[in-house]
Each structure stands twice: as structure tokens, then as C-alpha cells.
Structure 1
Amino acid sequence: MRTTSIRTRTTTAATIAITITAVFGALVSVAASTPAHAAAPPRLDSLVDTAVAGYLEDDRIPGAAVTVVAGGRTVLAKGYGVADVRTRTPVDPDRTPFFLGSLAKLFTAQAASQLVAQGDIDPKADVNEYLRAVTVPDTYPGHPVTLDQLLTHTAGFDSDLVGRNRTGAKDVEPLAESLTTRRPPRVRAPGTIAAYDNYGYALAGQLVADTSGLPFPAYVDEHILKPLGMTRSTFAQPQPAPIAADLARGYRPSGASGWTQDRGQYGAWSPTGPGAVSTAADMGRWMTGQLTDDTPANRLMQQVHHRQDPRMPGLGYGFEEWRSGGRTGWFKDGDISGFHTNLLLVPGHDVGVFVVFNGDGTNGRASWDGKDLIHRIMAALVPEVPVAPVAPVVPVVPEVPDAPNVPNGPATAAPSGATADPSLDSYTGSYRPARVSRTSLMALEGLVAGVTVEKDGSNGLRTTGLSLDPGQPEQSWLALGDGLFRERGGTGATLAFAKDGVLVSSATPSTAYEPLTWRQSPSLHLALLGAGAGVLLLAAIGFPATALVRRLRGAPPHPRAARAARTIAVVAGLITAAFAAALAAVVSDGNAMMEAVPLGSPLLTTVTVLGAALVPLTLGVVAGAIAAWLRGWWNITGRVLFTVTAAGAVAMAGMLLQYHLVGAPFDWLAR
């Protein structure tokens, strides 16, 4: 878990009131002849300048860009720091393209929504009716995958991004080819649970291409970018030369004061993130279009199509529903190696904010910094709305509308008063993000990204691992009744336990959390992994030492088979040591790991090769333990110690198989 102290700044109610008055006064007074970017409202400019300067300095981020739109125009578009630490090129909001990461999904959703609005695609039909170059296997007969499910992360595909990205655009394979050769399995019936799904969005991009007859980048360029005047944005790989010449570089902190350039921002799955670039000014044009153009496609994007729990924020097409202080909007963030983006639209106030950093930041703080800045801007531009307490009602899950212009029903309002919940014990335990892979090396995320829920007094819960703030791993929640909780401290965040036991957080509507049995507990698995590794490491030291003492004493040698069994145990211990060192090198730097996983690396390959080697060695150690008792090798103490060694090897190998750390030769055993 990343931990670092978060910056805290306070703003008085009077200051907020003055800021709001000044901002909206300035918006009203902006002349119609204002050029591309209207003058930034008083105080908003200085608020953003001060905040971004703090992020760049405190978290060691090279550069950033921020755009704010309001009242149908761009009121702030500024660049900060440098786009390239070698050339010291300053960030220019009009000219510097940044990699968008998962914000690309908004354009994919918009493209698909346009085709739905035109009647070219039925969002509830089997996608195989429209796909030409790719076929979705019929894993769950009678439950086909639909476009609606692709765009709401409910299609049920497993997650596997290992080795999907490339260092350069010239190495990117065609989208359809990658969707076929690198297709993850379907692991759950579609429509059942939200689990953030990159493959699903890449498949939606192919659906756009097959239906429109245009390559996906060409469709986006012709039907979205050009109509909005987004001339410095593209999904093409490689980018056109004028755009490529000004691209920002992404970095992670290195050493005491330097940076290392991140790689791996390109890839075949461009509809889900890799390769897509845009400038801060262009993103202002896109946000303005979303806020002012009341098209059927935009309405489709900005309505809820899936709620994991009817009381919680849901999912639009591309967007996550956002709620804070009585305000509602649509949010999306994106992360790709070296780049972190956040975007929020608040249609009720005609306000939109886009923030991008070209650095991961110390301990990966850039992603949180973007959210923090949006929170500050919203506090200045959009006042909180008091919400009166309401009584609980029987929730009804809203249906997805048949027509694109029919709004989806609102979520059931939650009661605001605390109450003692007699069933708190039923909510405690371990939970795992549904996005965690079941079949690939990315299953390792389940070992470190679990959520723990404990009782906190007689009417509350405490969670660990659920917070998006790296400086606040623990959160305390007040019971509201019927499995609903509100975060203590006035943040407005809510937590719900659905009828099927799934945990839903208002901060992450695109990924629910599944309850784990005690056998699936990450704490248990970590203990088994640690105990197994410890036993094998002791064997690697103890058995050679014992053999040396026997030789020095002139004791007769043990049978050759017994010596071979101990040799196998020693080799297993040595490989365990090498495995632990390689794995530690991979996970020790979270920023570097963010590059290594989608790009692939020799170190990751080393981890899986060493893991694979431990599987047959474990079989050899177990066979040796059985033979030791059957043939009477060593004394009782020696046999017991070797049996403990075999048990440790089994525990170690079992966890390697569980988390797919054994590579291709034995990975099928874990499936």
C-alpha cells in the first residue's frame, strides 16, 4: 500500500463565498468577442497556479496542463512546468499533446453512441451480429455480450494487460489481430457485476470499425475530432508529424532529484487508452461539446445504464456518475505509464475540468493530485447543495432505456441519519476488486489490492485498502441502515453492501468488490507464501550445513537417493531466494511496475521462469519426504524436518499457481 502524507489546505466559508461571487460575475461579463480562451475568472487562476505549483514541486512531477470550461467557453487553459525534461520545452496548452490513457474510452463510448443513435447498432443485441473480424466465444449460452455491457464494464471478460503495450508506434499490431490472439477468457456471465474492462472497450472500438467501415482512428477523427476543431488530437499510431513533434514525454522520479522517462504508451488496444493523445485546449473543446451539444449520442453517454446497487452512483457510457456535496456530474480518469488524467463534467452548472500530468509523481501521487485539484476547483466554482434527510425506500433497479433519448431513472436516495446496524458482523471480512484477473499474472494484484472490512464501534465499519488517497489507507464509515454507510468526516462518500454481498464504493462505480471466503483471504495467502519461502530458504542453508558437519565428523554418508532428495530441496531454496529477489525488484517501485506490466520486461519473465522451476522441484521434495518415511532415511528428527520442508514447498508452489506466477509451462494447472 502506498503511503505518503497528503497536503492539507483549508479554505474558509467566507473565502469560498467571495470566490464563487467573483467567478460567476466574471463569467457573465465575458464579451462575445473573446478569443479562443476567455480570461480566467478572478481567484480561479491563482487557485490553480498555487495548487499545481505545489504538486509539481512536492511530488516531483515535470509538467501539467489544466483546462476549465464554463458557460459554453474555455475560461482557463494553462500549461505548467516542462513537457520534456531534456529540452526544457514548456507545456503549452494549445500545442502540447499528452497521452490520455483511459480517457480514450470516452471517445470510444461517444463513437459507439453515435452509431446507436443512428440506429446502426442495437446496444442490447449480441455483438457478434456486428463484428466481422473478431468473434466472441459462446462461453455462457443464452447470455451473449452486448455493446451496452462493453461500455459499462459488465461484459465479464478477465483482465490481462501483461505485454499488451509497445515502446513505439511502429511495433503496434492491428486491433483485430490483437483482439483475437490476446483475448482473455470470459469469466462471469455478462451483466452481473461491474469489473473495469480494457478488453471490452477495445472490442467496442472494433465494433465501431466493423459497423462504420472505417478504421477506428479514422472514425474518431472524422466524426468527433474534426467537427469539434480538435486539430491537435489523434488516435492514429504513429501520430501525424506536426503532433508527434510536440508530444510531451512521461516520467517517474529517479534518485534524489532526477527523472526516468517512461515507455510503453503505444498499443493495439487504442480504443481503451494506448496511443491516444490530445492537448488541454482540445479537451476544453470536447468538454464544451459534451456540455452544450444536446445530441442523442451525448445524452446516451450521460445517463446511467448500470448500477451495482440502486442507491449508489452508476455507470454511463464511458463515464462514471459523480456525486459530491449534493452536486452530480460525470467523471473519468486515465492512467498510462508516465501520464495521469482526470476529467469531470457538471452539466447542471455547465462546468467541466480537465487535468493532466506528464509524471507519475512520488509514490504514484499524480493520479490523486488530479482528483484533489478537481475537488478544489469545484469548491470554488460550484457551491455544495444541502441535501435534506430522506427515509429509506424499497429500491428498484432501473432498466436501460430502449431509445437513446429516454433518460435513465435516478438512484434511490440514501437516508442521512446514522443508526445502529445489528448485522455489522455480516459485512466484515476480506473483499477483492472484481477487476482482478483470475487467469493471468495480473492475479497478483489480488494479493496486494484486497480490502479489509472491520467493525468500528457499535454503528460503524472501518475499511483498509478502499481509499483512492494514498495518504489515507483507512476509512471510517457510519451505518445508515440496510447495508448502507457514509464516510465519517463529512466527505460525502458512501459505501453499500448489495443483496448478493458485493461491496460497492461511490468512489469506484466501475469496479465492485467481491466477498472472499477465509480460504481466499490475501492475508492467509501471504502467510502461506512467506512461510513456504522461509522454510525453503532455511533448507537451502541448513541441509548443506548438516552435510558438512557429518563429513567433518567422519559419519557414513546417507544413501544416494536421500542425498539427491536433500539436493533438490536445497536447489528449491536457492531458486526461492532468486524468485523473492526478482519479485521484490518488480514491486519495489510502483511507478516502474506500471511500465513493466503492460510493456513486459525481462524481470517479469525471470519471475515467472523461476516460479515455473519451483513446481517440478516441489514434486521432487514431496517424493523425497514420502521415500524418507518408507525407506527410513535419517533419524526421526531428520524425517520430520524434511517433511516440514516438503510442506513449505507445497505452500509456496500452491500460491505461485494461485497467482499465476509460474508462466506458460504450468499456468494451466491454476485455471
Structure 2
Amino acid sequence: MIAHLQDGRYGSNQILKPETAQLMHKTAFQLDPRFPGMALGFYHSNHNGLDAIGHGGDVAYCHTDLLLIPARQVGLFVSFYTTDNRVRERVVEAFFDRYFPASPEAKTVTGADVVAAARRYAGSYEFTRRNHSKIDKLLSFTTQMSVSALPNGNLVVSGVLGPEPWQFRPVGENLYQQIGGKFHLAFRSDAQGHPTHMFFDFLPFMPMERTPWYERTGFWYGALALAFLMFVAALVRAGFRRREIKALPVAPRRAERLALAVAAWALATVAVFAAVLAINGEGFSSGIPASFKLALTMPVIFVVLAAVLVIATFRAWKDRRSVFLSLVALAAVVFSLWLWQWNVLGWQFG
């Protein structure tokens, strides 16, 4: 810390050349010219109007941050073992509020254009720093952020930032400031004016992009809820109509039993995965548990059953048309598509 505050010098020893240290501290890339950017090994951050360089990091229970303010010859290092990573942010904020009080806030921008812009920016966003081709992609299913517009042009952002939504007020062109906080939010649009990216000033290394409809958490939550409602209904229906199903012609009877098997297997798959995740917990940080690898056979079997059900349902319509059976087959297709979309089919490890 001392060496970087003194252009690479510690005591009488010049550990780094001054120009090397200065190059490491210099902004190399910015997501938005108004926001702090990335340096070499460091990233910039704004604290009460002061430009700081540093680097933080997290694991499950350890949260660390290093901040340097070369202009004031001040450095701060914090490291905590806690389940609450916000402890770090609260300590850093208290430090700067105590020794470097905040500068006046920018004025809120108002007008019809501001309200229209807020509506345009509303939607779902996800971090670009995510896995696209392996099973880790499933993590981004639960880390999307939702942006909603208020009638006055403010934005409400909810998701992985914390248990409570954050509200932002407009202070410039595609620029918003947190209400009751010190963070800023900005958007980038394409040539047609459609929003493509969202940036936070405190995350220069993690831009967000607009989530396509087929990856939006809200879309899949609704689709999966309806699908599993059909699976539960299939189990209940089979229990009440055992004799009637037994008396059906061969093709419809086979399709009905396949629907029951698919519904039961879908619910069992979810139950097994929930149990494996609960039992292993932090075990995933040191590798893929054998129980998880074994559990991944269940989605593969489900997709096979779903395909057979679709074929059986099509054949069953020749003898007996059943809208309910078709809906169960459709639910199986929906769940299969979700498994495929989020790389849960097979053993796609990075």
C-alpha cells in the first residue's frame, strides 16, 4: 500500500519504477466516461468525490477491500469473515464520511422526456460476466436485475443488490443517482435508441446487458409455474381416474401412464436437486460432488420421457382426443426447454 502511494517506493527502496506505478493506476478502460474505470490490477471508485484505486474480493464468508487515494496519501484495507458482505461497504462508507465528507448532490432532472426515458430503460438486465456454455450459466438465472419506472421518472432496481430495492432519480442524460445513497446508474443505447447496457459506477468491472426474453427470469418463472401445476394436476387426476384410464384403448392408456411418469419424474428431479444442493452446500467451492453428477442423469431421463410422451400423445389423439394430456405434454416440453436453455442437460462442467 505504501509503495503504491509513493509511486513504487518503499522506504529507501524503489520496488517499481515510478512510470510503472503510474501506469498501473491510470484508467485503461471506462464503461461510461462519467464513471470510474478499470486500471491495471486496480479499478477506480468514487467516494464522496474522491478518486480511489483499489481491488476487492469475496468468497463465501470472507470479504476484503483495498482502497488507495494517492492524491491524499491515504490507504484503507479491510477484511471480514462474515455472511454479510455489506459490512465491508458500511465500514468504507463510514470511513469516507468521517474523514472526507460528501460533496453536494446533483439536482434532479424533470420533464416528459425523463418519464419516457425511464419507461424505455425498464426491463431485465444481467451481468456480462457469466458463463454461457456450461452449467454455471444456471447461476445467472437467479442474478438478474429488474428495472421498473415510476410515474415521476425515477427508477426502481431490484435483484442481487440487496434485500431491498434501490430507487434512483434522474440527474442527467441516461444518468441516475441513488436516493438515500451515493451510487450512480447509467444506460447505453443502440443507434435506434433501444437500451442495450446498464452500468453501476461502483462496478466498473461488471457491466450489465439487456436480457433477451427467452432468458428472463420472470418469463421462466411463469412458464415453469404453469408446467409444474400441470404435473401436480396429472398426479391428482391419475389418482381419481385409475379405473377410467385402465379401460381406455391401448394408445390413450399408454399416453396417460406416460403423462403420469413424466409428471412424477419432473417433481422427483426438482426434489433430488434441492436435496443435493442443501446437503453439499459449500462443497461446490472445492469441486463437483459425486451426488450432483449422479443427479444430472435425471434431467436426461426426463427429456427422453418427455419426447416419448409427445409421440404417444399424438398417436392417442387418433383414438381419443384429450386436451389435458396435450397440456401435460406441453408442460414437459417447457421444462425440457428450460433444462436445455440453462445447460442442465448432461454434464456440462467448466
- Check whether TM > 0.5: yes
Comparing 647-656 and 440-449, the one that deviates more:
440-449
- Report the CA distance shift for 1:300/1:538 in structure 2 as closer, same or farther (over 3 A): farther
Amino acid of the residue matched to residue 604 of structure 1? Answer: F
1:494 aligns with 2:184: yes
SS in 1 for 2:2: helix
Asked if 2 retains the 8 angstrom alpha-carbon contact of 1:540 and 1:572, the reply is no
User: By how many angstroms is 1:341 displaced?
Assistant: 1.8
Q: How big is each residue's C-alpha offset from its partner over 1:173-210, in whole Å with a ceiling of 9 and x where there is no partner? A: xxxxxxxxxxxxxxxxxxxxxxxxxxxxxxxxxxxxxx
Structure 2 CA distance for partners of 1:569 and 1:308, relative to 1, 3 Å = same
Tell me the secondary structure at the aligned position of residue 663 of structure 1: coil
Q: Report the counterpart of residue 574 of structure 1 in structure 2.
A: 264
| Range with greater deviation from structure 2 (319-328 or 337-346) | 337-346
| Counterpart among 267, 275, 293 of residue 605 in structure 1 | 293
Task: Give 2:247's aligned amino acid.
Answer: P
Supply the distance in 2 between the matched residues of 1:458 and 1:478 (Cα, whole angstroms).
Answer: 9
1:451 and 1:463 in contact (8 A); partners too: yes
Q: Which residue of 2 aligns with 1:419?
A: 110
**What aligned pairs does 1:625-636 form with structure 2 within 5 A after superposition?**
625-629=313-317, 631-633=318-320, 636=321
Same amino acid, percent of matched pairs? 21
1:383 and 2:122 matched? no
Counting only pairs closer than 5 Å after superposition, residues 145-160 of structure 1 correspond to structure 2 as none
**Aligned match of 2:11:** none
Residue 623 of structure 1: how far off its partner (Å): 0.7
AA aligned to 1:371 is E
SS in 1 for 2:226: helix
1:318-337 matches, within 5 Å, as 318-337=41-60
What pairs with 1:159-174 in structure 2 (closer than 5 Å)? none
Aligned residue identity for 1:643: S
Partner deviation per Cα, 1:294-316 (whole Å, 9 max, x = no partner) = 43332222121111111122111
Contact 1:433 1:512 survives alignment (8 Å) = yes
Unaligned runs of 5+ in 2: 9-17, 191-195
C-alpha contact (below 8 Å) 1:326/1:386 kept by paired residues: yes
Change (3 A) 1:455 1:338: closer
Measured after TM superposition, the shift of residue 557 of structure 1 is 4.9
d(CA) in 2 for partners of 1:594, 1:347: 38
Q: Deviations over 1:497-544 (max 9, x none)?
A: 023421001121111111124343210111112222232233234335
Shift of 1:292: 2.0
Q: SS in structure 1 opposite 2:241?
A: helix
User: Does the 8 Å CA contact 2:117/2:153 hold for their aligned counterparts?
Assistant: no
TM-score normalized by the length of structure 1: 0.46
Q: 1:616 and 2:311 equivalent?
A: no
Q: Distance in 1 between matches of 2:134 and 2:204?
A: 24
Find the counterpart in structure 2 of residue 462 from structure 1.
156
> For the Cα contact (< 8 Å) 1:446–1:522, is it kept in 2?
no
Q: SS in structure 1 opposite 2:189?
A: coil
Q: Which structure ranks higher in relative contact order (CA pairs < 8 Å, sequence separation ≥ 6)?
A: 1
Write the distance in 2 (CA, Å) between the matches of 1:588 and 1:454.
Answer: 33
Per-residue deviation, 1:584 = 3.0
- When the two chains are superposed, the root-mean-square deviation of aligned CA atoms in Å is 2.6
Q: Distance in 2 between matches of 1:540 and 1:306?
A: 56
Instruction: Tell me whether 1:297 sits opposite 2:16 in the alignment.
Output: no
Counting only pairs closer than 5 Å after superposition, residues 246-257 of structure 1 correspond to structure 2 as none
Judge conservation of contact 1:464–1:475 (CA < 8 Å) in 2: yes
Of 113, 133, 142, which aligns to 1:448?
A: 142
Letter in 1 for 2:284: A
Structure 2 partner of 1:354: 77
- Residue-by-residue CA offset, 1:451-473 (whole Å, 9 max, x unaligned): 11111232311111152xx343x
- Where in structure 1 are there 5+ consecutive unaligned residues? 1-286, 390-414
The answer on whether the counterparts of 1:477 and 1:488 sit within 8 Å (CA) in structure 2 is yes
What is the deviation of 1:597?
A: 5.3
Distance 1:460 1:416 in 2: 13
Please give the alpha-carbon distance, in whole angstroms, between the structure 1 residues aligned to 2:247 and 2:217.
Answer: 46
Shift of 1:607: 4.3
What is the DSSP-based 3-state SS (H/G/I as helix, E as strand, rest coil) of the residue aligned with 1:502? strand
Q: Give the aligned partner of residue 133 of structure 2.
A: 439
CA distance in 2, matches of 1:598, 1:527: 34
Q: 1:617 to 1:598 in 2, by over 3 A?
A: farther
Give 1:492 shift. 2.0
Aligned pairs (5 A) from 1:250-289 = 287-289=1-3
> Distance in 1 between the 2:276 and 2:92 partners?
32
The count of corresponding residues between Structure 1 and Structure 2 is 332
- Which residue identity is paired with 2:96? M
Give, in whole Å, the separation in 2 of the partners of 1:613 and 1:621: 12
More strand by share: 2
Query: Would the alpha carbon gap of residues 544 and 511 (structure 1) be closer, same or farther in structure 2, given more than 3 Å must change?
Result: same
Shift of 1:622: 0.7
